[in-house]
Structure 1
């Protein structure tokens, strides 16, 4: 085996290791804003017809019951059975996807 083939093998191994580490670091971040919004929309659709939605793309600190969470904040608008439009604000835990609050405005 020549040293060129050996060096190419080592280089490929290092490259794969770096790529795998980057992917694992990304997965540690938890949920994306889009996925958080999708979870809320699925849950909210049980309360009425979804008319609109929005979400902040960066996480914020949210404190409830003396616990601090990194959350995505956003809102949804729903039409109830009478056709009345109702707005809700939400906070979703960015790590787990748990809806921490859903408040009628």
Structure 2
């Protein structure tokens, strides 16, 4: 095998990888659910330690009366001032921004 043929193969493989990566981002433009949960936990940890957390990995529709957006639903529990606090949230699947936070 010639060096030129090898380099053409490597270049073709790299080009295919870039095209596949770009196409997959267009098909699923959502922020990974785990990353959304980690960002929310980081914000909660500023006030008090977290005892538990969870997030659904599949998106759900959230309507605010004007528009419907895909969201991840999840929850956080923590001890604050000697009492257990439990929160449920809905975070925009495209940006990770919390659009609803309810203390249960």
TM-score by length of 1: 0.79
Number of equivalent positions = 102
> Which of 7, 20, 23 pairs up with 1:22?
20
Deviations 1:32-55 (A, max 9, x none): 111000111112223432110001
DSSP-derived class of the 2:13 partner: helix
TM-score by length of 2: 0.80
User: Alpha-carbon deviation of 1:101?
Assistant: 1.0
Consecutive unaligned residues of structure 2, counting only runs of 5 or more, are: none
When structure 1 is superposed on structure 2, of 72-81 and 9-18 the one drifting more is 9-18
* Residue in 2 that maps onto 1:50: 50
DSSP-derived class of the 1:36 partner: helix
Alpha-carbon separation, structure 2, partners of 1:42 and 1:26: 28
Q: Which runs of 4+ in 1 moved over 3 A?
A: 4-14, 25-28
* Residue in 2 that maps onto 1:98: 97
> Following superposition of structure 1 onto structure 2, how do residues 26-105 of structure 1 map, counting pairs within 5 Å?
26-28=24-26, 29-81=29-81, 83-105=82-104
Alpha-carbon separation, structure 1, partners of 2:34 and 2:61: 18
Deviations 1:5-33 (A, max 9, x none): 76655544432222112222344423111
How well do the aligned residues superpose, as a CA RMSD in angstroms?
A: 2.2
